[in-house]
Amino acid sequence: MTKTIAFLTAAEGVERVELTEPWKAVEEAGHTAVLLSPEKGEVQTFDHLDKAETRQVDQAVSDAQVDDFDALVLPGGVANPDALRTDADAVSFVKAFLDSGKPVAAICHAPWTLVEAGVLDGRRLTSWPSLQTDIRNAGGTWVDEEVVSDGNLITSRNPGDIPAFNQALLGALG
């Protein structure tokens, strides 16, 4: 059965491979990927600090409904989740998605948005190492592992973990 997966990013600062590789895995598995962002238009991806490709936004997150999607992917990049956590619609969507029980997969710096959404209390997860204090302060247990699944939350540390991240995401989709 085809599922629809939301990918939520800010307009800039998205780590390209953390968007494009899970996107490719989702589509190759026969599912539909949809790009959400705070505003319509394009998002600028980056290869670390260098501009890479742009991607067309499919829908503004303010117009998105959790019920329309089967899973949510939060790519990283330092600036991307930092911008998302200041957008009330994005934070509200992420919180509602986690609360729904549907899979949420966040990689690298993306758990910053989860911190802002207040959904990490009692959760076990991983991220880029610099987020561990923020995660602990938000009530989560940070671990240094390639991929961590805790209920409906899937997390990984960095682009090197993408194969395990994709496998966990696709496994959660059934």
Q: Where are the beta strands (DSSP E) in the chain?
A: 4-8, 14-15, 32-37, 42-47, 50-56, 59-60, 71-74, 104-107, 124-125, 141-142, 147-150, 153-156
109 is catalytic: yes
Which is catalytic among the residues 90, 105, 108, 110?
A: 108
CA distances (Å), 22 to each of 40, 106, 170, in order?
A: 21, 11, 9
Which is catalytic among the residues 109, 110, 114, 147?
A: 109
Write the DSSP symbol of residue 98.
H
What is the torsion angle, in degrees rounded to the nearest 10, for the CA atoms of residue 23, residue 147, residue 81 and residue 57? Answer: 10
82 is catalytic: no
For the annotated catalytic residues, the residue numbers are 108-109
